[in-house]
Amino acid sequence: MPVSPKVVLRKNLGRALRQGHPWIFRDALADVPTIPSGAMVAVAGRDGRSLAHGFWDCTGPIAVRVLDLQPVRDARTLVCDRLRQALAKRLLRLDRAKTNAFRWVHGEGDGLPGIHVDLYDQAAVVRFDGEGARTFYRNLADMLAECSAPLCLSQVVDRERRDGNLGEIEVRENGIRFIVDLGRGQKGGLFLDQRENRQALAGHAAGKSVLNLYGYTGGFSLYAAAAGAI
């Protein structure tokens, strides 16, 4: 296993890291070494004791995104294991006949800091938080394909680098149908992390008059209408 460069903390963040805080900001470091974005680094306290391991970003305010408290012996294996765990967790709660669009990876919450992966039927749409994440996960498309069973994944789309000609597809969320354009749009696409909130709104919408201001995709409005809002 190659030896990772070491960065030393100026602030005492040992407790926060042990409790699961996934970020180390640049101003928390004693100095800022010259390390390429995406490289694995070891994080040490002022006493030299190893505290965490993650990947480096040389441009953004978050200098290190923490992957583990222990040394990462094989980054690809770690990422693939966590991709499979995240997918299994989602599929356990989904009725795929009614829902074929959902958030596969929610970044730090799934132990994969710096990325979000949304599944739209057979297409995975990826968003990277900064060049450090983009470089560290440079083989993510291959890893998603490798870890996608039992899905029938046919393409991986980089949200920031789409060519605008990928076309529209129809997806389902709790039986509600949406048209999604994989080549255009912004931010979080259909905001698939709001699925349960949309379902909760539907439970209160029957017979009610609903006004959705600044709703972007109108997803909450569709749920309200399907539930009988007037």
Residue 108, token pair as written in the block: 């730090």
What distances in angstroms separate CA 226 from CA 39, 195, 204, 214, one per listed residue?
48, 14, 12, 20
- Tell which wins on pLDDT, 151 or 216: 151
Residue 222's nearest CA partner among 202, 204, 200 is 202
What digits encode the pLDDT tens for the residues 119-145? 999 999 999 999 999 999 999 999 999
Largest pairwise CA distance in the chain: 64
25 pLDDT tier (thresholds 50, 70, 90): very high
Residue 156's nearest CA partner among 141, 140, 136, 169 is 141
Which ranges in the chain are annotated with CATH 2.30.130.10? Answer: 6-68
pLDDT at 186: 61
215 pLDDT higher than 90: no
**What is the CATH number that goes with domain 6-68?**
2.30.130.10
pLDDT at 187: 63
Hey, how many other C-beta atoms are within 10 angstroms of the C-beta on 213?
4
Which ranges in the chain are annotated with CATH 3.30.750.80? Answer: 75-187
Residue 23's nearest CA partner among 103, 117, 129, 118 is 129
What digits encode the pLDDT tens for the residues 68-87? 999 999 999 999 999 999 99
Residue 25, token pair as written in the block: 């900001």
CATH 3.90.79.10 for the 75-187 domain, yes or no: no
Scan for tokens 């599929």, then name that residue.
91
Q: Is the pTM of this model over 0.85?
A: yes
